Amino acid sequence: MNTRPVWLLLALCGLAYANDESQRDALKRQREAIESQHAQREQACLKQFVVTSCLEKARADKQEALQGVRAQEQALDDVQRRQRAQAQTQRLADKAKAAQARGDKPPTPSEGKPPRVVTPRPVTPPSPKASVPDRRPAEKRKREDFEARQREIQAHREAVAKRNAERAAGKVVKPLPVPPSAVAP
């Protein structure tokens, strides 16, 4: 099996990876600078009389600046994805060539991966009594408590009305005294 093209490809990917990492670090620093500048602008806005419009402008400027950073990050991600796909395609092509040289059948893409083991979960059917508790006794008890409380309230109202009636019947209300200025001389 000729491993030279694979190592060459991996070395080139390694160089590209190092370059990607330096670009990612630069984008990270750029993002941090944007965030820092935004924080400073927010502090300056808080000192102004019209705060809301200043903060909205600062947020819009921040989002606009971050949009460029996001676009660059997405471009790096796309390049990295393409490189991984190309490396995978190259590995599969090399395996196929090696298998053909040995006289074997060419490998399928799933042959290089270990088989996926799926363990079934135990299935327990829900029992009607376990899933829906019988609410009738609790509802009956709550209804009885409610009715007892209503009877207590009604009895209290009647007692207060009776007491007020007794007080009103037992008292003789005296009229107010006539002021001396109202009496004729």
- Of all helices (H) and strands (E), which one includes residue 91? helix 51-102
**How confident is the model at residue 157, as a pLDDT?**
97
**How confident is the model at residue 107, as a pLDDT?**
56
Which amino acid does the sequence have at 43? Q
**Residue ranges in the chain whose pLDDT is less than 50:** 1-12, 15
CB count, 10 Å around CB of 56? 11
* 103 φ/ψ sector (left φ>0, alpha ψ -120 to 50, else beta): left
30/165 Cα distance (integer angstroms):
85
**How confident is the model at residue 25, as a pLDDT?**
92
In eight-state DSSP terms, residue 172 is: -
Cα 45 to Cα 51, 63, 65, 66: the distances in Å are 6, 17, 19, 20
**How confident is the model at residue 113, as a pLDDT?**
65
**How confident is the model at residue 181, as a pLDDT?**
80
Report the mean per-residue pLDDT for the chain.
81
Contact 100, 106 (CB under 8 A): yes
- Domain range list for the chain: 4-102, 140-168
**How confident is the model at residue 115, as a pLDDT?**
64
Contact 89, 5 (CB under 8 A): no
Our CA angle for 90, 93, 99, nearest 5°, is 140
Which residues have a Cβ under 8 Å from the Cβ of 59 and sit 6 or more positions away?
Answer: 38
